[in-house]
């Protein structure tokens, strides 16, 4: 039975592991790198909020690439029932974890400056350190893509490394631009490398679907 699981994993990855999710993840992580740089010009709110339309544009590009570049080369599938259940379970757990992180973030942000709840600069490390490994691991588990696990670890330790760089006067803005920027570049590089490998190894069929 385990052999069938391995065949299923390979088949699923053959259709779905296209590197585009890595690109979207890199776009998400880049917010933590760029927002501190833009905050002086745009303010705290808009330096993050501006990523809404940027992500949406990125999503449209990714969707176009998936439809016009990846799918004609890799093909598509409807996963088996066990995989569908796994995706559903992971989605539910991920939603709950993100909602908890969101609520904690809002509560902590509202407590800024107060005597009773001044976590201040620990908000990002705590939230990301606990959320990122779970979310990235769930993604890796549900899609059977191993490289998402180290992504979670990288995102979790990035604020700690950034903080260390900042405290040693090696980087500005708590080191976030350097630390998260590096993680985003790693994700982007891996994603684009995967995408280019697909384009190289899977030329468009001359007479597609001709059966």
Partner 1 sequence: MTQPPSTDHFAELDQIIHVPARLRLMTQLYVVESADATLLVNTTGLTWGNLATHMRKLEESGYVTIKKGYQGRKPHTVIALSAKGRQAFDTYRATMQAALDQLPNSRS
Are 187 and 147 within 8 A, CB to CB?
Answer: no
Q: Determine, following the binding rule CB under 8 A, whether residue 10 of this chain makes contact with partner 1.
A: yes
Site string for partner 1, 164-203 (x = CB under 8 A): --------------------------------------x-
Tokens of 91: 């989605």
Instruction: Compute the least distance from the CB of residue 19 to partner 1, in Å.
Output: 16
Q: Determine, following the binding rule CB under 8 A, whether residue 76 of this chain makes contact with partner 1.
A: yes
Instruction: Rule CB under 8 A: choose which of 2, 4, 45, 114 binds partner 1.
Output: 4
Footprint (CB under 8 A) of partner 1, residues 44-73: 71-73
Rounded Cα–Cα distance for residues 173 and 37 (Å): 7
The gap between the terminal CA atoms of the chain, to the nearest Å, is 31
Are 206 and 197 within 8 A, CB to CB?
Answer: no
Instruction: Rule CB under 8 A: choose which of 43, 44, 49, 80 binds partner 1.
Output: 80
Q: Which is nearer to partner 1, 15 or 157 (CB)?
A: 15
Rounded Cα–Cα distance for residues 187 and 66 (Å): 18
Rounded Cα–Cα distance for residues 73 and 113 (Å): 54
Q: Which of 29, 2, 13, 24 is nearest to 142 (CA)?
A: 13
Instruction: Rule CB under 8 A: choose which of 15, 87, 123, 185 binds partner 1.
Output: 15
Could you list the residues that contact partner 1 (CB under 8 A)?
4, 7-8, 10-12, 14-15, 71-81, 84, 202, 205, 207-211
């Amino acid at each position: 039975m385990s052999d069938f699981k391995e065949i299923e994993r390979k088949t699923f990855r053959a259709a779905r592991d296209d590197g585009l999710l890595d690109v979207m993840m890199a776009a998400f992580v880049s917010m933590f790198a760029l927002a501190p740089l833009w905050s002086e010009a745009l303010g705290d709110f808009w330096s993050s909020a501006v990523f809404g339309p940027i992500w949406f544009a990125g999503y449209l590009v990714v969707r176009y690439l998936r439809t016009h570049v990846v799918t004609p080369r890799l093909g598509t599938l409807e996963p088996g029932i066990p995989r569908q259940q796994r995706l559903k379970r992971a989605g539910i757990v991920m939603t709950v974890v993100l909602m908890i992180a969101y609520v904690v973030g809002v509560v902590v942000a509202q407590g800024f400056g107060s005597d009773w709840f001044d976590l201040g600069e620990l908000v990002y490390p705590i939230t990301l350190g606990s959320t990122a490994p779970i979310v990235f691991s769930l993604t890796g588990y549900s899609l059977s893509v191993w490289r998402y696990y180290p992504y979670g670890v990288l995102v979790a330790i990035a604020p700690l490394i950034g903080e260390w760089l900042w405290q040693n006067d090696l980087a500005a803005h708590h080191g976030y631009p350097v630390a998260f920027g590096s993680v985003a570049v790693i994700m982007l590089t891996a994603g684009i490398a995967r995408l280019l490998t697909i384009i190289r190894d899977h030329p468009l069929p001359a007479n597609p679907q001709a059966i």
